[in-house]
Amino acid sequence: MSTTDRIEITDLHLRTIIGINPEERENRQDVLINIILYVDSRPAAQSDDISDSANYRTITKEIIKLVENSQFYLIEKMAAEIATICLNSHQVERVSVNVQKPTALRFAKSVGITIERTNKSSWQQ
């Protein structure tokens, strides 16, 4: 059963090696990450127990570890890896991940991608 309840992680600001140009492979750059976890919050609301919810603190720690210890060439790959981490929480039915790279273009504030992925097992009837 799908739901529209959302847990939002907003403006997670991290530094990592990202890019295809040689200078981008040497120095860490800022990335800004926004995540929406689509969950059914009713069990957690009823029990008031974290085990009945998507533990966003644990998920965020895993994302920080991934991003800060990785060296991606593309923000597309980074976003997909972040989505995989989020979907490993069985309470997460769907995830939307937005990754922004503020230094990507000279005259633009930022360049980014938003992807959505589904935990197919949670959508089965």
Task: Report, as an integer, the average pLDDT of 56-85.
Answer: 97
Catalytic residue among 77, 101, 109, 120: 101
pLDDT of residue 118: 95
Judged against a pLDDT cut of 60, whether residue 37 lies above it is answered with yes
Instruction: List the chain domain ranges.
Output: 5-123
pLDDT of residue 104: 87
Written in H, E and C, the secondary structure of the chain is: CCCCEEEEEEEEEEEEEECCCHHHHCCCEEEEEEEEEEECCHHHHHHCCHHHCCCHHHHHHHHHHHHHHCEECCHHHHHHHHHHHHHCCCCEEEEEEEEEECCCCCCCCCEEEEEEEECHHHHCC
Look up 101 and say whether it is catalytic.
Answer: yes
Task: Report, as an integer, the average pLDDT of 78-102.
Answer: 96
Select from 2.40.10.10, 3.30.1130.10, 3.40.640.10, 3.50.50.60 the CATH code of 5-123.
3.30.1130.10
pLDDT band at 3 (very low <50, low <70, confident <90, very high): low
The chain-wide mean pLDDT, for the chain, equals: 92
pLDDT of residue 123: 46
pLDDT of residue 119: 84
Judged against a pLDDT cut of 70, whether residue 51 lies above it is answered with yes
